């Protein structure tokens, strides 16, 4: 019998897989010229997340983690971050079977049956992960939250997100356990606008987003969002200097992401000296994702997680939480997630990513990489003193 106490926890709940926003093809509503789907339809389907959990189970890794569910957060806990009028309206639309939120509460994100209740579960998983790691119950943790949260602002649903899971977790642990300084690094392919919006005038939360330039949100959807996702959006008031946007060119791959981490993101975290680090873990910068145009592969996420883990060990005793965000390739997200959780836990499995050699061969060449590294190098004095 194995009496080893796991250092890494994994938070999951079957209820999160039961959220549905309605009948879509990727992000296009069915109707008019859009034919009804034959498969899982909406981009934010449960399958990429369910298949990740299944691969963790099949690989044997899940048995070596401390697996938990969590209680749903309450309305009052959600209101630590979100406006009560927004929460009340979201609950009302969800309770009547779903539909579209009224302006100004919605940008592009329909509500399904029980969306509100399932979003409370999703946020509860992230909240418990952050709480358990901060209190030292585990060294680090992964929260398989769904629906995701990193686009949700204080008063708007956006980009498949209703509640900002990470922000709620931070505010809860601050209120109840005295968490002071925390760094968020968001490597979802889309801009981490939700955390930026919520903490933009704060100096106790460092928000860093590595994202594809002008992917989502952009000015076609939300005016001024491209400026707010640029390197010049640094925060305001007390928060000036505590927001970092690394807006990467489409086609960026393994080498560019690691360069951005090593030269800017991780040195900024070390200078900030947080009590813990949270990764908004989107896997949609992978080379097969339908909603991104980036070139990462499973070993990219393994390497990126290892680098952040090493930084966490330097600055905050290894306290690191990953919360699941985007990632829409049902075939490939599981392998990216497994690689990240292997690096997080320090436990390797026998799983091999299919066609990894092909993904490696597709990586950008020296011309692109040297061009983009030069751009990133010019950003360094903008972000680091």
**Residue 319: is its pLDDT beyond 50?**
yes
Q: Helix (H, G, I), strand (E, B), or coil: what is residue 262?
A: helix
Question: For residues 267 and 139, what is the distance between their CA atoms, to the nearest angstrom?
Answer: 22
Closest CA to 163 of 234, 79, 101, 226: 79
Task: Report d(CA 202, CA 205) in Å as an integer.
Answer: 6
The predicted-structure confidence for 127-184, as pLDDT tens digits, reads as follows 999 999 999 999 999 999 999 999 999 999 999 999 999 999 999 999 999 999 999 9
- Residue 369's pLDDT band, with cuts at 50, 70 and 90, is very high
CA dihedral for 163, 166, 167, 173, sign (positive or negative): positive
Do 215 and 191 contact (CB within 8 A), yes or no?
A: yes
Residue-by-residue DSSP string for 115-145 = HHHHHHHHHHHHHHHHHHHHTTSSSEEEE--
Please tell me whether the peptide bond between 64 and the residue prior to it is cis, using omega within 30 degrees of 0. no
Going by their DSSP bridges, the two strands 140-143 and 8-11 should be labelled as: parallel
pLDDT of residue 37: 67
Q: Is 372 exposed, middle or buried (0-12, 13-18, 19+ CB in 10 A)?
A: buried
pLDDT recorded at residue 108: 87
Closest CA to 185 of 161, 207, 160, 167: 207
Instruction: Provide the 3-class DSSP secondary structure of residue 102.
Output: coil
Question: Is-contact 166 280, C-beta < 8 A?
Answer: yes
Structural domains for the chain? 8-15+44-383 (3.40.800.20)
CA separation for the pair 84, 80 (Å, rounded): 9
Mean pLDDT of 293-321: 99
Q: How confident is the model at residue 38 (pLDDT cuts 50, 70, 90)?
A: low
Indicate the pTM of the whole model.
0.96
- CA 120 – CA 172 distance, rounded (Å): 13
Radius of gyration (Cα) for the chain, nearest Å?
19
Greatest alpha-carbon pair distance for the chain in Å reads 59
Query: Is residue 151 annotated as a catalytic residue, yes or no?
Result: yes
Catalytic residue, from 19, 151, 190, 211: name it. Answer: 151
Report which of residues 26 and 6 the model is more confident about.
Answer: 6
- Rounded to whole angstroms, the Cα distance separating 297 from 355 reads 10
| Distance between CA atoms of residues 13 and 148, nearest Å | 14
Mean pLDDT of 207-229: 97
Predicted local distance difference test score (pLDDT) of residue 88: 99
- Average pLDDT over the chain reads 96
Per-residue pLDDT of 341-357, as tens digits, reads 999 999 999 999 999 99
Task: List 157's β-bridge partners, or say none.
Answer: 106
Cα–Cα distance measured from residue 23 to residue 84, given in angstroms and rounded to the nearest whole number: 29
**Cβ contact 194:161 at 8 Å:** yes
Cα(24)–Cα(36) distance, integer angstroms: 7
Q: How many residues does the chain have?
A: 385
pLDDT of residue 167: 99
What's the whole-number mean pLDDT along residues 5-22? 93
User: Contact, 343 vs 299, CB < 8 A?
Assistant: no
The tens digit of pLDDT for each residue in 69-102 reads 999 999 999 999 999 999 999 999 999 999 999 9
pLDDT computed for residue 3 by the predictor = 53
CA neighbor of 76 nearest in space, from 196, 172, 149: 172
Provide the 3-class DSSP secondary structure of residue 184: strand
Residue with tokens 């680098």: 307
With contact defined as beta carbons under 8 Å apart, do 249 and 213 qualify? yes
Average pLDDT over residues 233-260: 99
Structural contact between residues 253 and 300, judged by C-beta atoms closer than 8 angstroms: yes
Check whether 196 has a pLDDT greater than 50: yes
């Amino acid at each position: 019998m194995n009496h080893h106490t796991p250092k890494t926890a994994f938070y999951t709940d079957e209820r999160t897989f039961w959220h549905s926003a309605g009948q879509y093809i990727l992000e296009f509503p069915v109707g008019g010229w859009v034919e009804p789907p034959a498969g899982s339809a909406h981009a934010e389907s449960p399958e990429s997340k369910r298949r990740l959990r299944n691969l963790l189970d099949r690989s044997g890794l899940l048995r070596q983690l401390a697996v938990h569910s969590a209680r749903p957060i309450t309305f009052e806990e959600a209101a630590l971050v979100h406006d009560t009028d927004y929460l009340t309206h979201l609950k009302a639309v969800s309770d009547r079977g779903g539909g579209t939120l009224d302006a100004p509460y919605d940008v592009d994100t329909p509500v399904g049956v029980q969306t509100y209740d399932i979003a409370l579960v999703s946020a509860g998983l992230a909240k418990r992960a952050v709480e358990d790691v901060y209190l030292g119950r585990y060294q680090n943790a992964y929260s398989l939250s769904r629906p995701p949260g990193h686009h949700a602002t204080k008063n708007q649903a956006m980009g498949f997100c209703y509640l900002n899971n990470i922000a709620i977790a931070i505010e809860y642990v601050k209120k109840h356990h005295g968490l002071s300084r925390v760094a968020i690094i968001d490597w979802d392919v889309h801009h981490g606008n939700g955390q930026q919006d919520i903490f933009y005038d704060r100096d106790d939360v460092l928000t860093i987003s590595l994202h594809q330039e002008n992917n989502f949100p952009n000015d076609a959807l939300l005016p001024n969002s491209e400026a707010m996702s640029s390197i010049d959006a640094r925060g305001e008031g007390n928060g000036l200097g505590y927001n970092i946007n690394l807006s990467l060119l489409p086609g960026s791959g393994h080498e560019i992401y690691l360069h951005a981490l090593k030269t800017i993101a991780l040195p900024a975290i070390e200078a900030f000296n947080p009590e813990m680090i949270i990764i908004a873990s989107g896997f949609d910068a992978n080379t097969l994702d339908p909603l991104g145009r980036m070139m990462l592969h499973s070993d990219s996420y393994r390497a990126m997680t290892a680098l952040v883990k090493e930084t966490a060990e330097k600055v905050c005793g290894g306290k690191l939480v990953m919360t699941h965000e985007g990632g829409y390739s049902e075939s490939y997200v599981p392998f990216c997630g497994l690689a990240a959780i292997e690096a997080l836990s320090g436990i390797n499995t026998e799983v091999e990513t299919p066609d990894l050699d092909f993904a490696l061969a597709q990586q950008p060449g020296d011309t692109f990489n040297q061009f983009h590294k030069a751009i990133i190098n010019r950003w360094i004095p903008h972000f680091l003193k």
